[in-house]
Each structure stands twice: as structure tokens, then as C-alpha cells.
Structure 1
Amino acid sequence: MTDSSRQTEETAIPPRLRFARGPSDDTGIAERLALNRTGTFEWDLDARTLDVDEAGLAVFDVDPAAFDARPQTVVERLDPAERTRLAVTIDEAVTEGSSSYSVHFQVPLPDGTRQWTHVQARILRSGDGRAHRVVGVVRDATAEVTHSAFVLDLEKRRRRQTDIVERTTSALSRAMTVDDVIAALREPGGLTMLGADGLALGLVENSTLDVVALGGDCPEALDDLGPVGIDERLPLGDTVLKGRPKFVTSREDLVRRYPALEPHMERMRFRAAAYLPLVAQARSLGALALFYRERTAFDADERLLCLGLAAVVAQSLQRAMLFDEEREFATGLQSAMLPRRIQAVEGGEIAVRYHAAWSGRQVGGDWYDVIALPRGRVGIVVGDVQGHDTHAAAIMGQLRIALRAYAAEGHPPATVLARASRFLAELDTDRFATCTYAQADLSTGAVHVARAGHFGPLIRRADGRVGSPQVRGGLPLGISTAFVDEEFPETRLDLLPGGTLVLYTDGLVEEPGADVDKGVAALMREVGEGPAEAEALADHLSDRLRERWGSGDDVALLVLRRSPDVGTVRAPRLHQYIHQADPEGLSDARSIVRQALTDWGMAELADDAELVTGELLVNVLLHTEGGAVLTLEVLPEPVRRIRLSVQDRSSVWPRRRAPGETSTSGRGLLLLDAVTARWGIEPRGEGKAVWCEIGPVPGRPARGERDGGVPHPM
């Protein structure tokens, strides 16, 4: 080729495909391919012969002098599985009309290793589409495949490391207290989260290191440690002192570095360990040890992963410790504002509970108080100052003391709340408060209640039924004075023996995003299902409802129970309150009377007692403006009779009348004369009680035997 022709040919080659000339310009294409362990082949499908150049035979590790141009000579050296995979790939390409195929397979070498081989071929077909020849290249792809496998493995390991960090961060982000962090690490998924087979967590407490968490395959030697001095002779203590991580790849190496562990070496079930310092904002919090059963080395990525996990744990612990400190401060401040001691009450029992919100320094304004009043009465109050901060707590403390002073002077509930509202307004604050205040006389069961923008009380009767009586109320304290409306109407309630009064704040019934009526209904249900004793009921309500709603708000709870009046074994007694607005109350009262007499072995008196019960209660519910208290008791021997009493708050006494034949009323006292042994009317404080005795009278025949069966009035 002349210089001019060579120049013309070079000019025709695109610049990006030109090769710089050098000492190897005379090297042919075949030599270049052979240097890169790449050869060519031509396969005549009609003649069933295979032509492979020397470079291609070298890739197959076949001696050129021994090659007989048969395809079987090349493929018979492959393992059966590889041979089958190669044959299937070629058959599919030929029979399905493909123009090419590509396949990777392994070729065994004399030294026992395997070489990855790649064939890239083109299928030549005749005009009718029949394949008659295959041409292509064959090359050693070991380096390529190995690199690809390395990249895939590296990517897999990095994904796994990313997953570990994400799971750990997600789990610990929900931990609020140190106990929550420890629980997250010790739970069944904690080790999986960290990618380890065991762990040990030690926290610095003053000058000691307290091992607070063990999990999985950790050294039993740590079980005997507990709180110990920070000692460099032990790996956890040494990690804390030096502040540097340690990666151990054998138990022997660990014991060699820390001879104090030698007596425990046989009980160690791990092969490698990572001891990681826990440091946050230059403060040493402790150390974390991760143990592995199968690991024998820590590469750079794995060391970085361990250090990243330690950083996540340290940050979570620091946040949790700060939260615990703030919560301790908040609860301490709140407790200082509340009564230190609740005095016992005569004729009943009382229980109080306060639970702070899980919100660090977010101190609440909820409070309770129990106040001794003149004439043996007791004042009870539950309230809530607006806001969740130290200012709300400070206002609550002042308001509680002021309300206590007004109540102790003996003022009625309406006056106490009016003066408390005026006091709050004079504090010159923008806060208001809600509360419910009640004065209870446990000797009579009379309870006078007034409320200021707060929930009314719940009453649980001795039989477990729970009601929410209608208690009229006024505006919240502070607001009522600002609007010149200091009216707080009083409502009288009757607390029967064995009955319970429950006062509470909104933290016990409010669920975020839900109607508060749902919470009140749940509280009523739990009050009815809980134990009767005041302390046990307070615990029951605290546990069940705070667990249900969460702990986003403070809770103040007060439970007052009047002592039950059960009489004696020989003279039992029951009490029942019938609300005027309760349509089932009359029927329930009659059933309760019948069941009680049956249980007491006096079923023969049940018919008369049930009849009289209905008559007396109907009179109260029709002719008065309140409910009634039914009392049933067995009089002591020698003559076993029952005494039935219905008490109401009306001062009007029943009158004896002479009803006509067509009258539908006026026969109540005539019925008492006919059915009972004796009856009468007694004044009772603000109202009266109509009582009667049913049963045999000494020296008189039983009803039905007197005067030929005609009832004889007493």
C-alpha cells in the first residue's frame, strides 16, 4: 500500500476509531484477540464441523494438534450441567428463528479451577430461514464475571448495612425513656435489628459501669458483673476509659488482651466482638458490645457500620436521659404543688391519683384536694388549670390553696367557687381553670355539688350500676368573673351506703381525634366493672384508661366511697337509689327486693314487699321533684320481720283520702294498712321517710286468717 493510498484509507476512518501508531502497529487482529484470550469460530451446521482458531482453542484449553473439528470435542470437556445449559441456549436460538445468541458457562481447567467463558455468536440462515452456519467469538470472561459478582456482593452487603441502620434508627426513634431504649435493644427483634448474635450495654453511673442489658449470645461473665468500677482490665470498662472502639476476631485474642476473662473463656459462644464507646456531645454515656458467632474479620465497611450503630444508640440514650431528667423535674414540681397526705374520712374511704403526661417539662395544671369541713363533712375537689407549663403549675398551686381556705371556712359550694373565680381573676393572668367541688356528709349520704366548666361526677351504686347525674354548672373559674357571671348552682346527690363518687379530669377520658363522650362512656364502663374498694378502683381506672388513651395529658382522679351498711348476718340490709328520670328504676327496685328476700330465706314475704315497694316509689316519683332512696332491712329476732323505708326530699306528707269507686288514686295508705304490720312517717333532714314493717305480729293471726280473711288495719 502506497503512502497516498494509506493516507486516503486513514482519512476514511472516523477519528474516534483511529488507533495511534506505535511499535505494535504490525500486530494483526488475530494476535490482538489472542492477547486478550479471545478467539473466533465458524460452525458449519450442514457439515457438522467446527473451525476454531488457536486463540479460541486456548480459551477451551484444547490442544490444536489434537482438535478434530468436531463440536463434541470442545463441549465434552464441560460438566453435564454446563453442557446441557449451553445446548438448550443454542437449540432455542436456532429453532425459534433468532439471529444471535449469547451464553456464559464454566470450563474446568487442569489445575482444578474453573474459567468463566463467554460465547457471542451470529446465526446465518438461507432464504427459507433455515440456519446453516454459526460464526462468533469465544473469550475468557473470568475477570469480568468475578468483578461483576464482587460488585453484586458489595451492593448486597451495602444494602444490608443500610437496612440495619434504618431499622435501628426507626426502632430507637420511638424510645422516649432509657427503659424504652433498653427494651428496644433487648426485644426479640433487637439483635436482628443490629445484625448481631448478642449484645451487652453498659451505662456510666457516677464512677461505676452498670451493665443494664444483655441479649442473645453474650458472655455469661457479664452476668456476674452488675454495677462495677470502670476498670480497664475488662473490655467494656476499657472502651469507656479510652473512648476508642475495639474489634476482636477470636475469643483467644480477647482473653489475651483481657486476662481477667480467662476463667470464663469456655462459656463464651461467640467468635468475634465489637466494643463500641457511646459518646454524645463529648459526654461518655457507656459502651455497647456486639457479639458474632460466625464472623472472623471486620472490613472497613463493617467497622463503619458498627460505629454508626453506636452513634445512633448514643444519641437515643442521650435524648432519653434528658427526657427522664425533665420528667423527674416536672413530676417533682407537680407533686410539690399537691397535698402531701390525704386524711382518712369517717364513714368511708378515699383514694386519689395523679399521673403526669409523658411530655418532659410540659407540667400540667391538674389537681385534687380533700378538705375537712365543720360538722363532720368532707370537701373534695378536682380541677385543671389551662396550659401545660410551669406557669400553669404555679397558678394551680395558688388556686388550690385559696379554694381550700374558702372551703375550710364552711361556705357552701357555690360561694367557694365564686370566691375562687374572683381570686384567679385577681392574679392578673390569662389562664382560666375548671373544677368540680363537692361537700359530702357520709353519715347521711348527702352530697352537694357545684361545677365550673368541668365534668360532673359519676356515681357507682352498691350493686355496680353507674350513673352520670345531671349537675348544673357555671362558667370556668376566672372567665365567670370576667363576664360578671359568678353563679354556680348547687345540685344535691344521695350517696347510699356502699356507693362511690368519682371525680376526674379530661386526661382520663379524652382520646386525640375522638369524641369525648366516647371516653366518658368507657370510664363509666370501667367504673362499673372495677373493684368496689376505693384504692383498688383508682388503680383499675388509672391502668386501664391511661393505657387505652395514651399519656398525652395529665390525669387527676379522686374516688370517694361511702362505707357499706350491710347489717349483720342475722339482720342484713340493702339500700337502693331510684332516679326520677330512670325508666327502669322502679322495675329494678322491685326485682332487687324480691331477690334479696329470697337470698335471706324470707321468700314468703316477697309478694307483699314487692307490692309495697312499687306503691311507695310510685308516690315519690309522681308527687315529688326528686329521686328516692329505698332501704330494706331484716329486724332482729325474736320476731323476724322486714322493715322497708322510702326516703325522698319533699316536705309534703301523704294524706289519707276516701277514694270513690271510679278513682284511680288515693288508696296507697289503705294498701299499707292492709298489707303491713305497722307503718309510719318520719322527718329526715330536708325531706321525709315513709316506712313499714312486713311480717307476723306476736299475738295476731297472719294476714288472711284475721276476720275471715278481711284485712284489718292496725
Structure 2
Amino acid sequence: MDLTSPWLPPSEDESRAPRSSPTARSAMRCVRLLLGCTTAAELLGTVLAEGPGWITGEGSALYLLDSAGMLRLTASHGLPDWVHERYGVIDPASELPAATALRLRRPYLLSPERTSVDYPNRNAGMGTGMVALIALPMIVDERPIGVLALALAHRGTVPRRDLDVLETLGDACAHRLAHLLDSARAGARPAGTAHPGPGGEAGTDGRSAALAHPMLSLAVRSAGHGAFERDLVTGETFWDATAYRVVDRPVPPDGPPTAPDLDGLVHPEDLPDVQAALAEALATGGPYRIEYRVPRRDGGVIRIEETGEVMLDVHRRPVRVAGLLADRDRAGAPAEEAAGGGGGGGAPAAGARSALLLALTRALSRAVTVRDVTTAVTDVARPAFGAASIVLDLVDEGRLLPVSHTVYGGPRRTELTRLADLSEGVMQHSLARSAPLFSEPATTRPGGGGPLTPASWAVLPLVASGRQVGSCLITFSTERVFGREDRTLYSAFAGILAQSLERARLYDTHHHRATELQRAMLPRTLPRLPGIASAARYLPSTEGMQIGGDWYDLLRLPDGRIGLVIGDVQGHNAEATAVMGQLRSGLRAYATDGHDPAATLARTSRLLSELDTDLFATCLYLTLDPADGTVRAARAGHPSPVRIAPDAAAVELDLPGGPPLGVDPGQPYHLTVGHLAVGETLLVYTDGLVEDREEDYDESVQRMLGGLELWARQAGPVRLGPAAALERLADLLTLNVTERRSRPDDVALLLLHRSSPVQ
């Protein structure tokens, strides 16, 4: 294969590896799950969640061919706004990776060298010099379906066995999509219409082609049922022509059609039930089923059964809803079930509204931070209310600052920001009066008119424990009258939202203070040393209080020597941070007194054993003489340092270790003497840099070493200069960590490069 990455043939050990290896088992399970997926978004999410851990997720996408023969971005994860805007639709004749893969009909791999040159924007999860990108063409029986693009954590070469796994996953996605498309065509094509084109739309029926949507066919289950899809990120909803006929609504003459407003479609008595059921489905994800009534244009009612599924992304956020609408009377439902909606309509409206508030309360109760609350409002409350947008402002030093746009991407972010600016005055007015405001038909609306002016709206002051927390604007795309029950419902929601925001802001404040405390215990800057370049990074854990006990230090020692310290205190809480501060101070004192690394660790271990704590710590301490490159080092249960040579060799130093600090205070530590030549670089780190729950630890270390060798081959210190090269390398190392779905451990690293001998 003519791929752009230097391939390594499988070693003898690899060729003899049993078929039940962890990678094979992971791929087999993923394939089985892929064959049960029902949408492109679910396929991509399954690959990222269930595939091998070296598929990073960030920067991955799935493109489908549409009726015009263009590659259209259908599902994605971790792509920045500019990618959606610039590469949302790709011409297969272009030179972009997805187009090239489809044209060549074979996998197209951009090696880390290529991604760093061709795609230098690090926000895309590429351009790292350590992350590869592969585009897998999805082709079934010579029929092109689309392209699956995945970002890989391979830093260096990509082994052949991993390519085989990727091709298998791509083939599974292709066959599943082909099956879904074929099934949809067979069930959705009326008699007498033309055969669908490559994208699944009819080729001669102009109206059908206009109403088609690239993903709509994936939701169709059987003939006679209307299909729909809601994009919860953009707010767009698409219906097919059958869906309009099921609810006795005219098909819009010009497509693509958007769905009727929920408030204007569902019978008023059933609306609270539907909103409550929808809120619960959005909060939990997965399949759902709702029954409700729709008024006919002739005065009767239609009993509708809505069956769908809420698709979640890898972060468990709802991103898409797809399903079917069926007329239950035509389907032969029992007559005794004819009453009511939302499962029968037996519950009174007051009980249904209570159920909706309960569902919203559950969603908000799981929110921890202000961003979590905003996400819950965006993902659950907005679609449950049938709202076009929700703008959430928080009181900050007497001013209202919008926060809703922070959980959106693409055009929605800009739209919400502009809407927040237009509505600022009415939101401040409502908060000052501590009373909600509701629009009425033909009344003045927020902003005084314009393209973003909503048809109707509600402004809710958010007050908790007598304190002004913020203000909330809920907008609707159609005019509506807010009755007494509606106003009571929104006022109750405002109280729940205000309490959640107050709690979340308190958490954010405590977390910010804890983080500031931890950062205050770490060096603000590294000392500038003659003949030496250095760089450091620290990332807190994303679990618990998001603080911990990792630390690093770069010390000036007597006689011109330099000391490097890296340590990791057990735990991720305030106690671990406090113990870390004491150990850092104690070790610094022992080191500057002139003790060698072994003696320094022994004294620090005794210090930890005398503290009132049950925690222990790993630590690595080494000294460097810049004049001759002599290195003296000792290790207390910590990962070994890595030496990176200019000839592209990256190896762990052979450094015998002792027990972690505080475990056995009487145990001495072994002192190792080595040498760091001019032009070589040392890396010391905590295990959070390489540790991944989805991958063997030793394999993670080997991947890191491969990436370091790649960095050295690119002659970074020579091309960029030592200081700039180390800063870039530190970014590359930590970028791979930030792309993970979670970070259960802290990450600290310290890089040191010997550029010249010191006289």
C-alpha cells in the first residue's frame, strides 16, 4: 500500500500472537456492536467507545455520500467549529484525506509528520507531530457509502496489525450502513417513484428529493410510518412526507421541511405528558415510546405513537433523536386505549406537569458545575419545552454574563451570543423586578425586532435563598399564549434552576480555590540555567475534586549542579495536596543542604512517615552537573526517566528503585551514576501521562517512546531551538492526555535539555 506513514511489518511475535489477544477481542466485540447500530452517529460513537484505546476520539468523523455525490459530515467527535464550517461538505475530487481515500478506494493514512505540516491547528486534535489520522473508505460491493476518519494515538509508526483492525471496523460500518439504507429504501419508496440515487433519495420525484435528508432514511423502520430526526446540537428537525400525512398536516411545498412546533402539534391536554416523557428520555438516552393525540384539521383527533431513540455522544450528551410516527388507529390499536395521550391520557394535567418538573429536577440534580447545569438546560429542558433556544445569564459582580453559548459549537454559538445581547435589557428588567415576563401575541419582543427576534418568549428571574443568581430567556419559533398553568410551570422551573445554579457556583468556587492552592505549591516559573533548556506541565485529574499530589521542581544546587524532582502523592483530594506541599519543601531543604539523591529520598521518606497521614508518595530525584553531564539519580517507586538522544533513540534509564516514600522509612535507596551528553534531553513524569484504563501500561510507555523518537527525528531542538522545541514537546505529550474521555490521575512532567557544556 502506498501510504504516507513508514510502516513496520509485523514481527515474528506478532505473527504468532494468538487470535484471542486483547486487541483482537476488543475488535471482535466492537464489530458485533456495530452490526446492531441504527444510525451513523451511533456507529461512530461505538467505534470510539468500544474500539481499541489507541483510537483517540478527538478529531474523528463519519462522512456519507449525499444525493449530489458530495461527502457530507454526518457524525463527529472533538472537531472544532472551523472544521464543521470548512469541511462540512467535501468534494470527492479534492485532495483532502477523506476524498483521497474514497477515490483510491483504500485506507489513506496521514502520518504524524504529515498532520503536523498539513494540519497545523492543534485544536483539531491533529498537528501534534504525535497523532496520526486515517481515512477509511466505506465501500460495499463496489458501491461507495462514505468515509470513516479516525484520529490515532500512534506516535511514530503504526503496526500492520492495527491497520487490519481499522480496516475491519471500517468494513463493519460500511456493511451496516448499506443494510440500513437498503432497508429504508425498500420501505419508504412509494409505488411508481424512481429508484433512489446513491445518496438514498429519489432521482426523478422532485418533491421527494427536496424533502430528503442524508440521515433521514436511517430512521425509517417500515412502510406507512413517518420518519423524523432531530439534531439536538443545531436545533434542526427533519420530517419526511409520510410523517406529515400521519399527523394530518400539509407537506411544505419547498423543502427541506422542518417539524411542526410541539406546542402547536400535540393536543393541549397531552402536551405536559409528552414534555415529561421527552425530558426523561433526553436525560437517560436510549429508546423511548410516547403516545399522544394530535388534533385533526376537521375537528377530530389522531392517536399517535412516537417510537424513537435518543443517541448520546461519547460524553453521554444527547446529540440526536431519530424515530417513527405511527397512526395507532390505522395500526389497529385496541379501542379501550383510545383515550388520551402520553400513555393513555389518564393522568390529569397537573400531574403531568409535576412529572415534567420531576424529570427536569433529576437532570439538574446530576449537574455538578455551572457548565453541567448549562448543558442539562441545553440538552434536556430546551427540547422538552419545545423551545428554539434558551439563553442563561449569571449575575457576576452586579452584571449579567451569558453562559449558554459555551456548550454550543458552530453557528449556534454565535446565534446565542447575539440573542443574549439583544435580550440583555429585558432580562435585567425581569431580574430587577424578581418577576417573570411572558410575551403575548402581537406584543413587543426582546431586542425590538430583527431576524433573531423570537415569535414568543418567557424571561425568568433566577433567585435562590434571597440572592439573585441570574436570568433565563426561553424562546419559541411560533407564537403562543402562556396560560396560568404554563406560567406556574415556568416559574417552578426557574426556582429549581436557580437552586441548581447556586449549588454549582459554590462547587466551582471551592474547586477554583483548591486548584489555586495546588498551583501555588508548584513552581510558578522554572529557573533559567546556563547551557540548559527546560519545560514543565501540570494537568489536574478530571475526577473527584480535580486536585491531587503530583509535583515537580527544578533546583539550583551548590557547586553549580541542577536538581530535578518529580513526585506523586497518593490520592486526589486536599490532603494529598497538603502532603505534597510539605514533601516538596522538605525535599528541597535536604537537597540544597548538599545530600545526594539517595540520601535525600531516605530523609524525605522518614519525614513522610512522621507526618499525621496514611498517604505514601512515589518520587524521582536526580542531579545534573552541566559542566560534564554527570547524572546522579535515585528512585522511590516512580517511573524511570527517559533519555532522548539526537539520533532518535528514546530509552528508559536503567535505574534501580526503592519503595515509595513513607512505606519503609528505614530502607536505603540505591544511587545510580550516569551521563547526559550535549544535545540529549531528559524526561521525568508521573504515571498519569501514560496510564490509560483501556490500554496496557507497558504498551502505553512504548507508544510514548515511539513518539519521542519521532520528535527527535524531526530535529526539533535544531530546527526550533532548545527552548521552543521543549515547549512544543511538552504540548504534544499532554495533548494526547487531554484527548481522553476522562483523566483519572494527575499529570506532571519536566523536560531538561543539555544544549552546551558550562565552563
Query: Normalising by structure 1, what TM-score?
Result: 0.50
Alignment RMSD (CA, Å): 3.9
Label 1:174 to 1:504 Cα distance change in 2 as closer, same or farther (>3 A). farther
SS in structure 1 of the partner of residue 482 of structure 2: coil
> In the aligned structure 2, how far is the partner of 1:329 from the partner of 1:472?
39
For 1:197, the aligned partner's letter is A
**1:436 is aligned to 2:620:** yes
> How many angstroms does 1:534 deviate by?
1.6
> In the aligned structure 2, how far is the partner of 1:512 from the partner of 1:319?
31
> In the aligned structure 1, how far is the partner of 2:343 from the partner of 2:547?
54
Does the 8 A contact of 2:546 with 2:572 survive in 1?
Answer: yes
**Aligned counterpart, 1:563:** 755
Does the 8 A contact of 1:251 with 1:265 survive in 2?
Answer: no
**Aligned counterpart, 2:746:** 554
Does the 8 A contact of 1:202 with 1:213 survive in 2?
Answer: yes
> How many angstroms does 1:450 deviate by?
0.6
> In the aligned structure 1, how far is the partner of 2:497 from the partner of 2:419?
23
Offset from partner CA, 1:15-34 (integer Å, 9 cap, x none): xxxxxxxxxxxxxxxxxxxx
> In the aligned structure 1, how far is the partner of 2:347 from the partner of 2:552?
60
> In the aligned structure 2, how far is the partner of 1:207 from the partner of 1:347?
52
Structure 2 counterpart of 1:177, from 369, 382, 403: 369
Structure 2 counterpart of 1:357, from 527, 541, 548: 541
For 1:212, the aligned partner's letter is V
Structure 2 counterpart of 1:516, from 673, 697, 703: 697
Label 1:240 to 1:544 Cα distance change in 2 as closer, same or farther (>3 A). same
Matches for 1:33-432 after TM superposition, within 5 Å:
148=339, 176-182=368-374, 191-192=382-383, 194-213=385-404, 222-223=420-421, 234-254=425-445, 261=447, 264-267=448-451, 269-299=453-483, 302-307=486-491, 309-311=493-495, 313-359=497-543, 361=545, 363-432=547-616
> In the aligned structure 2, how far is the partner of 1:437 from the partner of 1:351?
17
Does the 8 A contact of 1:439 with 1:447 survive in 2?
Answer: yes
> In the aligned structure 2, how far is the partner of 1:465 from the partner of 1:393?
36
Does the 8 A contact of 2:631 with 2:675 survive in 1?
Answer: yes
Structure 2 counterpart of 1:499, from 680, 700, 708: 680
SS in structure 1 of the partner of residue 576 of structure 2: helix
Offset from partner CA, 1:165-224 (integer Å, 9 cap, x none): 68866775665433454456568x984355201222211112222233355977957426
Offset from partner CA, 1:115-148 (integer Å, 9 cap, x none): 99xxxxxxxxxxxxxxxxxxxxxxxxxxx99994
> How many angstroms does 1:470 deviate by?
2.2
Structure 2 counterpart of 1:490, from 671, 696, 702: 671
Question: Which structure 2 residue ranges, 5 or more long, are not aligned?
Answer: 1-296, 302-334, 406-411, 718-724
Label 1:510 to 1:162 Cα distance change in 2 as closer, same or farther (>3 A). farther
Question: Which structure 1 residue ranges, 5 or more long, are not aligned?
Answer: 1-111, 117-143, 227-233, 256-260, 566-714
> In the aligned structure 1, how far is the partner of 2:444 from the partner of 2:681?
69
Q: Which stretch shows the higher mean deviation, 550-559 or 357-366? A: 357-366
SS in structure 2 of the partner of residue 336 of structure 1: helix
Offset from partner CA, 1:669-693 (integer Å, 9 cap, x none): xxxxxxxxxxxxxxxxxxxxxxxxx
Structure scoring higher RCO (CA < 8 A, sep ≥ 6) equals: 2
SS in structure 2 of the partner of residue 479 of structure 1: coil
Does the 8 A contact of 2:535 with 2:751 survive in 1?
Answer: yes
For 1:391, the aligned partner's letter is E
Percent of aligned pairs with the same amino acid: 37
> How many angstroms does 1:461 deviate by?
1.9
Label 1:535 to 1:542 Cα distance change in 2 as closer, same or farther (>3 A). same
SS in structure 1 of the partner of residue 443 of structure 2: helix
Does the 8 A contact of 1:342 with 1:370 survive in 2?
Answer: yes
> In the aligned structure 1, how far is the partner of 2:518 from the partner of 2:378?
33
> How many angstroms does 1:281 deviate by?
4.2
> In the aligned structure 1, how far is the partner of 2:689 from the partner of 2:566?
12
Label 1:185 to 1:501 Cα distance change in 2 as closer, same or farther (>3 A). farther
> In the aligned structure 1, how far is the partner of 2:503 from the partner of 2:445?
32
Label 1:523 to 1:115 Cα distance change in 2 as closer, same or farther (>3 A). closer
Structure 2 counterpart of 1:540, from 723, 729, 732: 732
Label 1:465 to 1:303 Cα distance change in 2 as closer, same or farther (>3 A). farther
Does the 8 A contact of 1:462 with 1:497 survive in 2?
Answer: no
SS in structure 2 of the partner of residue 423 of structure 1: helix
Label 1:222 to 1:407 Cα distance change in 2 as closer, same or farther (>3 A). closer
Label 1:225 to 1:114 Cα distance change in 2 as closer, same or farther (>3 A). closer
> In the aligned structure 2, how far is the partner of 1:182 from the partner of 1:151?
27
Does the 8 A contact of 1:211 with 1:225 survive in 2?
Answer: no
> How many angstroms does 1:379 deviate by?
0.5
For 1:562, the aligned partner's letter is R
> How many angstroms does 1:285 deviate by?
1.2
SS in structure 1 of the partner of residue 490 of structure 2: helix
> In the aligned structure 2, how far is the partner of 1:382 from the partner of 1:392?
15
For 1:386, the aligned partner's letter is Q
For 2:664, the aligned partner's letter is S
> In the aligned structure 2, how far is the partner of 1:522 from the partner of 1:161?
54
Query: Normalising by structure 2, what TM-score?
Result: 0.48
SS in structure 2 of the partner of residue 328 of structure 1: helix
Q: Which stretch shows the higher mean deviation, 510-519 or 377-386? A: 510-519
> How many angstroms does 1:286 deviate by?
0.7
> How many angstroms does 1:290 deviate by?
0.7
> In the aligned structure 2, how far is the partner of 1:464 from the partner of 1:175?
47
> In the aligned structure 2, how far is the partner of 1:344 from the partner of 1:367?
19
For 2:677, the aligned partner's letter is L
SS in structure 1 of the partner of residue 459 of structure 2: strand
Label 1:304 to 1:445 Cα distance change in 2 as closer, same or farther (>3 A). farther
For 1:510, the aligned partner's letter is E
For 2:369, the aligned partner's letter is T
**Aligned counterpart, 1:475:** 659
> In the aligned structure 2, how far is the partner of 1:147 from the partner of 1:283?
48
Offset from partner CA, 1:271-315 (integer Å, 9 cap, x none): 211112223444331111111121422345544553454455434
Label 1:268 to 1:161 Cα distance change in 2 as closer, same or farther (>3 A). farther
> In the aligned structure 2, how far is the partner of 1:155 from the partner of 1:498?
79
For 1:552, the aligned partner's letter is P
Does the 8 A contact of 1:327 with 1:359 survive in 2?
Answer: no
**Aligned counterpart, 1:654:** none
**Aligned counterpart, 2:637:** 453
Does the 8 A contact of 2:618 with 2:661 survive in 1?
Answer: yes
SS in structure 1 of the partner of residue 404 of structure 2: strand
Does the 8 A contact of 2:687 with 2:747 survive in 1?
Answer: yes
Question: How many pairs does the alignment contain?
Answer: 409
> In the aligned structure 1, how far is the partner of 2:571 from the partner of 2:681?
30
For 2:421, the aligned partner's letter is D
For 1:372, the aligned partner's letter is R
**Aligned counterpart, 2:224:** none
> In the aligned structure 2, how far is the partner of 1:218 from the partner of 1:545?
31
Label 1:555 to 1:160 Cα distance change in 2 as closer, same or farther (>3 A). farther
Does the 8 A contact of 2:402 with 2:417 survive in 1?
Answer: no
Label 1:265 to 1:422 Cα distance change in 2 as closer, same or farther (>3 A). same
